[in-house]
Structure 1
Amino acid sequence: MTARPHAQRGVAIIAALLVVVVAAALATALVDRQGQWLARLQTERNLLQGQWLLQGGLDWSGLILRMDARDNATTRLDGLWTQTLADFPVGPPEDPRRALFSGQIEDMQGRFNLRDLAQDGQIRPVAVEALQGLLRSLGQDPAAAALIAQRVAEGQPMAGRAPRALGLRDVADLAAVAGLPAGLPGVLDPYVALVPATVSININTAPAEVLAAAIQGLGLAGGRDLVAQRERGQWFIHRGDMLNRLSQVPPAALRRLDVRSDWFRVTGEVALDDTMVALQALLHRDKQGRAVIRWVRYE
């Protein structure tokens, strides 16, 4: 009879210990969940702040492009717009290095415009042939040109009919084109663009491979010679200069060339604490030199 109270006390102690253990586990879980929620909240705050700071980067790009249009009649690779920013402090005054901005501007008219592969939903064989030549010079299968042209055509409206697919916006969108090698968009990115207008190729900024594809009869060796001339400071200053220096090329082959650009891609990123926010944007410089954002994508 005397053992029962001891047994009851033992059961009570065990029950109390179990309650303490459960309460401690619940408290720990609550603290962990709260910590995760706070970390998520801080990350989302940093993302919003990063996007806001990147907007400042777009404003910086627009200012640079406007200054370039004011000071130069040509768009060249020695212009102020070609200078990249790396780890530029954009944080608060008390800690400016808390947020670091890096960015660059790229000339989209120094590239082969994939939009030219089709017009009103109809594939343009001449443009496809030019892209095939560009692919060969890059060591890629020229058969990819037909696949890309078909996808570009599908994204264009035809007479009385809506586009069969969403239009491509950037070279990265080629990753979804069936039949293309997975790494092809990355290889093509420095050489092609998707500008939503018919534009000329800038002979002052295009690489040799693009010049060879754009100028019939020039060839890759001729394109490299033009690039070498530019590197020596022999820029093309107007269309007449272009006609004189390329007298061996039929004038018709030079019609789609120019010495100035008005379409640019801005790439930027902000490192804020442990959060990285990036963007890409397509800018069009109007006749007044103002840069208008055509599209922007945050990553």
Structure 2
Amino acid sequence: MAVPAARLSLSRRQSGVALILAMLVMALVTAAVTAMAARQQLDIRRTANLLDQDQAYLYALAVETWGERVLQRDRKHNRIDDLKEDWARLPPPIQVEGGSLSGHIEDLQGRFNLNDLIVNGAPSAPDVARFRRLLERLGLDPQRVQPVLDWLDPDQQPRFPGGAEDGYYLGLSPPYRAANRPMVSPTELLLVAGFTPKIYDRLAPFITALPTHTLVNVNTAPAPVLAMLVPGLGLDDAKALVQSRAVQPYRTPGDFLKQPAVQAWLQRDPALTPILRQAISVASGYFLIHSAVRIGRARVFLDSVVRRDPSGETVIMRTRETP
């Protein structure tokens, strides 16, 4: 018996719909499997990245420990700190499974300690004069010392001219208050009135913020810091001092005072000699350990401030992860 054309057409349409549905289901299943596989791969990569990040951080802490050991050993063998010693040398990167690690040490007492500007709640005249000279040597306005003093001192009286206390900072957006205490980090300078990122970047290699009064190590201080120490000492003379000490580091503070470029200015004003002698040293107690680690795609950079006491014992005072 012949199948009616209408029924045959309906059957074909139903078969076509079933085929389309089957293809759709297959496509959905394929998409789901593909998505699951992709998500699984993403999860695997994410887990691997997290593991790499953790491993890199642990390696960075190991570099930090290495830095401590180097500083401890240095103190046992030498009471003078200069840039010819092992701690000051830049070792080559060490290859490890999946990446590399490196580290180097800087002497923070080769810099000007911003917290020395205020002593017992009042400005320290010799240190204020030094900071003014540092600003001048770097081509910056020496009056910028005023808001820094206000940031550090305990009162709310703005200095004139150029000072700033809460009355200024609370008018900013967002508002905040003057710290009125010693700085924890030199990066606080970015919060001080008049200090733009450009100005901070100019100053950053030559400043620090340490919790105790510190002497400047004339064996490690860069030329602008040496020039800051002596009124009238120019950058060219300071650069010559840096070159000469590279051959023969100073064994005592007196060796620095005897340098002709320094003597020329001290002879003009003998009263400067005891002031300068009280500000300099040839040994250091504060250092900065830089740690850099690469594992896979992970990158970790740590900056660790270390205090070393006269016996050689070290304490990690502050560690921060840097970009």
Q: Please give the TM-score of this superposition, normalised by the length of structure 2.
A: 0.79
1:140 equivalent in alignment to 2:140:
yes
Which deviates more, 275-284 or 130-139?
130-139
Maintained 8 Å contact 1:203/1:211: yes
The amino acid across from 2:312 in the alignment is: G
Distance 2:93 2:313 in 1: 26
Aligned to 2:320: 297
Aligned to 1:101: 101
Which deviates more, 138-147 or 287-296?
138-147
> What is the Cα deviation at residue 203 of structure 1?
1.1
1:87 equivalent in alignment to 2:87:
no
1:19-68 C-alpha deviation (Å, 9 max, x unpaired): 22222222222222222221111111111111111111112111111121
Match of 2:220 among 190, 197, 205: 205
Distance 1:143 1:20 in 2: 76
1:68 equivalent in alignment to 2:74:
yes
Q: Secondary structure at the match of 2:303?
A: strand
> What is the Cα deviation at residue 79 of structure 1?
0.8
Structure 2 vs 1, CA of residues 176 and 20 (structure 1 numbering), >3 Å: closer, same or farther? farther
Q: Secondary structure at the match of 2:197?
A: coil
Q: Where do 5+ consecutive residues of structure 2 fail to align?
A: 1-5, 156-176, 267-271
1:183-205 C-alpha deviation (Å, 9 max, x unpaired): 23332222111112111001111
> What is the Cα deviation at residue 176 of structure 1?
4.4
> What is the Cα deviation at residue 76 of structure 1?
0.7
Q: Secondary structure at the match of 1:189?
A: helix
Aligned to 1:270: 293
> What is the Cα deviation at residue 131 of structure 1?
2.0
The amino acid across from 1:237 in the alignment is: R
The amino acid across from 1:42 in the alignment is: A
Maintained 8 Å contact 1:113/1:193: yes
Maintained 8 Å contact 2:151/2:178: no
Aligned to 1:280: 303
Q: Please give the TM-score of this superposition, normalised by the length of structure 1.
A: 0.85
1:79-125 C-alpha deviation (Å, 9 max, x unpaired): 11111123212x3xxx4xx3311111000000111112334565556
Maintained 8 Å contact 2:224/2:235: yes
Structure 2 vs 1, CA of residues 228 and 83 (structure 1 numbering), >3 Å: closer, same or farther? closer
Distance 1:68 1:237 in 2: 15
Match of 2:253 among 225, 230, 239: 239
Q: Where do 5+ consecutive residues of structure 1 fail to align?
A: 156-162
Aligned to 1:194: 209
The amino acid across from 2:69 in the alignment is: L
Distance 1:100 1:79 in 2: 24
Distance 1:15 1:167 in 2: 74
Distance 2:182 2:33 in 1: 53
Structure 2 vs 1, CA of residues 38 and 200 (structure 1 numbering), >3 Å: closer, same or farther? same
The amino acid across from 1:100 in the alignment is: S
Which deviates more, 271-280 or 101-110?
271-280
Distance 1:103 1:197 in 2: 26
Distance 2:144 2:25 in 1: 68
User: Would you say how many aligned residue pairs link Structure 1 and Structure 2?
Assistant: 285
Structure 2 vs 1, CA of residues 242 and 27 (structure 1 numbering), >3 Å: closer, same or farther? same
Structure 2 vs 1, CA of residues 122 and 252 (structure 1 numbering), >3 Å: closer, same or farther? closer
Aligned to 1:35: 41
Aligned to 2:172: none
Distance 1:99 1:153 in 2: 47
Distance 2:19 2:101 in 1: 60
The amino acid across from 1:109 in the alignment is: Q
Match of 1:5 among 3, 11, 35: 11
Q: Secondary structure at the match of 1:78?
A: coil
Match of 1:253 among 276, 281, 300: 276
Structure 2 vs 1, CA of residues 148 and 23 (structure 1 numbering), >3 Å: closer, same or farther? farther
Distance 1:124 1:185 in 2: 22
1:174-185 residue pairs with structure 2 within 5 A? 174-177=189-192, 179-185=194-200
Distance 1:123 1:134 in 2: 17
